[in-house]
Each structure stands twice: as C-alpha cells, then as structure tokens.
Structure 1
Amino acid sequence: MIKIIIIIVCVALIGGLFYYSYSKSGGIVIEVGSCMSETNKKYYSTSKIETIYKIDAIKNNQLSISSYNGETWDFVDHKPMDYFKDNETFKYDKIDCPIKEEERKSSNSMNSAIKGMKSRH
C-alpha cells in the first residue's frame, strides 16, 4: 500500500514538471499560455484601460510574463505566483489571448481567398 502511494506521489510530482498551474483565491487558474487583463480600479469609471499579460513560463515559483502592445508580446519580468491577485488598485481577469498580428493577416488573406472563390461560382 505504501509503495502505491509513493508511486502516485512521484507520478504527480513528475507530471507537475511538465504542466503546472496555479489557482489564486477566486478560482482563476493561471496556466502557461493563459492571458490576464489588468484594470486599474482608480480610473475604471472614466475609461477602461487595461494591460494584457501572457504567462510564458512558471519556474521556481515565479511567473515569467509578457505584455501585449497590440502587435507583439514584450517580455516584462519574473513575478511572484500571487501577482495576479486583485488588490486595492488593480483587478485581474482571465481572458482569451489576443490573436497575433501575423495570424490575423493570414486569417484575413484566407477569408479573402474564400470569398474570391465563392464569387467565381
């Protein structure tokens, strides 16, 4: 029985090396590849300006994050695991990651090609 428990624990630990997520209070799961929006509560009533972050890696109990500038992702820094916890100034929400500019362009060109084929028939 003890051997089975040890094996289960080892498998869980090894699995954690390949895939790691962190759940902050409030039920939001932070995973590699997920995106978060940061809204400043002090200015929310006048305009909703948000910063979008992507979790690039989770290593040594630190988040490696990038911010989205509208076209590309720029590396920001390594942050603590509880960085995306709501506080007096900032509110955080998990969101769908924005489409990369090159994906948007390729999607637009595919849509144009499909429309062109449909109009020929």
Structure 2
Amino acid sequence: MGSLFKDFFDQGKNRDSSGEVIYTNDPLGSSGKQKMRAEISGRVQGVGFRFSTKQSADELGVKGIVRNEPDGTVYVEGVGEQDQLNRFIEALRKGPSPAAEVEKVVVTYDQNIEEKSNFSQAN
C-alpha cells in the first residue's frame, strides 16, 4: 500500500505549475536557519495537499506545520536552512499533491515562528 501512495504523490513532484510565489520580505540574516510561513491558495483542500506537504517537508528536513484554513487556503510554517526552504517553497508552488492546483504562494520570513521538533499536519 505504501508504494501506491508514493507513486501517486511522486506524480506531483515533477509537474509544471503556473502557481505564483510572492515574497513579502527577504530572508532574515545571511546564513543559518530561516523561519517562514506561507499561505497557499487555489485548489488546495480536499486533494491530499497537507499529506503531500508533510511528505515533502520530511524528505527535505524542514520542520513545521501545515493546516487548512476556513477561507479555503492552506497555511504552512517551515524552519530550515535557506536551501531547504527554497526547495520546499518550490514544492508548495508546484502543489505536492497531483490533484492540487496552486494559484499563489505568499511567503513571509518571520523569526517569531516557534521551532518544532518535526513537521506535522494540523486539522
């Protein structure tokens, strides 16, 4: 059963997406860990987006959370090295779930984000 899910979500990794990434500010500091939050809009709820976002974060070593918002968007917090976060943001832009259609990812770097010990899905 695990390979069925892996095959399904691997379909989303290499596809093209017209999703736009908007940065509200620059990374904080020149090196070390960065903390970011992102709001993702489009068809991102009810399509396995949170599950596949967690899969991507775990593969990249990003810590944080992902949750659905009442307005139909998905909220993500991520903590990691800048290179890890760049790849994570790209996965969010593509929509890690093949059923997702990402329109926009709004990224804000925020040092006030609490560091987590892993990456988790919230309801």
**TM-score normalised per structure 2:** 0.31
| TM-score (structure 1 length as normaliser) | 0.32
